[in-house]
Structure 1
């Protein structure tokens, strides 16, 4: 069972700040009125809770927890070294403080890399794992990833719009204007750029992940966009050799299929969760 909240007359949705590792961490918490499973969503590098805004309204049958990772979104951005170990400790305290046990977890890009790291250290914690274009298998940054990092360091409307459009890699997809503005606002907050680069260096240092994928013991679904040029879809091959892992390629999608085709994405994960 996942986290079960006290039964209430109606669902509640709240955005609040909680103390994790001594820092203020922003978290969206959606509590359903009856007992149900919990889904935790982890965003990618430089992203925030809002990146999941197309998906969470569809998760009506689940409690939903979405944090801004430490250093990102509107959470505190301390001048510390952002290591994989730090993020794992962050998740340990988050789950403990919110009394979450055995949830379903969805991690996108860097969030997917964190999910894998956490699950390899806590092998029976998650009920099921869903990874969306997970980081951790790239040998070197792609051109699109480099453009995204550049847009974080130099967050102008033109740079950010171009980077997000390249990540979708679909001329028919139009990047939401509010997404661009919010990203610019967040990357102009104190220490945002520092946290971005420090985390990127941690990701680059942690190159052992692809050799450890055979250790996955929790039912796992890996979803990739067919047009992903940020972390190319060829990286899904690393996961196809593992019996407990299912893979799915979403046609016509780039790096964030849950943003580009949320309803199709939801139907895919719903089938996996209920199987």
Structure 2
């Protein structure tokens, strides 16, 4: 969801998130609630909803565009080109901006941030949002950049993509770090009312067409537990998504987790694994982080008082954990 940069308002910026979380099965809604909301919203015509932007092309913004069949990806590189490479993958409705707070801790690494297909400044086509497809695209980007060994880090949905990349590219991935990535579909807690309605057919499309900054912030409200300032660019990046890219990514993540839990996928890969989880995550059951104990030698770090997005809520600790982990996964 993107738009203009508005004057900073602490209350308005107090909470946000990586976006409406994956719909874990349809919630049972009060018929009266749905009817009342629909009466006020459906009066707006659906004509020209999102079809006109389903094939948006990638835009460069402080990075570079990597041309790929089916949709180009926006990539930002930081740090020393000759240093060990760390790949950062954002969550649903996120973007490269989500990693800004931890960049100082990784300044001696070669950091590659990717806007996943449908997100940020990457292309937003009608299809291609499967988790395995997203992972293949990330692998293709790294091949184009000439990168041969990486530590891959994923936040929430980005963790699913990171896991799939590790499954596909044993030659490339030397370690994986997951930040508040739900291990299984039934560990999902839920979304705000607005976020749930956005994933409801017809009503969701209308709400998306009418989206405002305040609507976006409400939809993202469960992603943060601590009150932290959220940059306008985070809201802008969500606003810039298409309805199709949002819902298709959400559905793909749910399907990936339902097919096989993340810990089971990682257990046989033999990779160094770091799991960071907020003890007050409002999207995933914090206790579900213990599922990762099934991964041999996985290191699990629970951050006290932190919610779903440790990069913003506790960037110093999160950055230090990531940096320390990269020291153990760099090629020797």
TM-score by length of 1: 0.84
Structure 1 counterpart of 2:108: 61
Cα drift, residue 115 of structure 1: 1.0
Structure 2 counterpart of 1:176: 230
Distance 2:185 2:194 in 1: 16
Cα drift, residue 109 of structure 1: 0.6
1:29 is the counterpart of 2:83: no
Q: How does 1:1-275 map to 2 (within 5 A)?
A: 15-32=63-80, 35-139=82-186, 141-144=188-191, 147-148=194-195, 150=197, 154=208, 155-170=211-226, 173-179=227-233, 181-187=235-241, 192-206=242-256, 207-210=258-261, 211-275=264-328
Cα drift, residue 83 of structure 1: 1.4
| Alpha-carbon spacing, 1:148–1:135, altered in 2? closer, same or farther (3 Å) | farther
Distance 2:94 2:235 in 1: 13
Structure 1 counterpart of 2:18: none
Q: Deviations over 1:105-151 (max 9, x none)?
A: 11111110111112123234222211101145122753227754656
* Matched length: 256
Indicate if the aligned counterparts of 2:63 and 2:76 stay in contact, CA closer than 8 A.
Answer: yes
Distance 1:61 1:150 in 2: 43
Distance 1:227 1:258 in 2: 14
TM-score by length of 2: 0.70
SS at match of 2:72: strand
Q: Which has the higher contact order (CA 8 A, sep 6+)?
A: 2
SS at match of 1:222: strand
Indicate if the aligned counterparts of 1:228 and 1:253 stay in contact, CA closer than 8 A.
Answer: yes
SS at match of 1:130: strand
Instruction: Pick the structure with more strand per residue.
Output: 1
The gaps in structure 1 that reach 5 residues or longer are 1-12
Cα drift, residue 27 of structure 1: 1.0
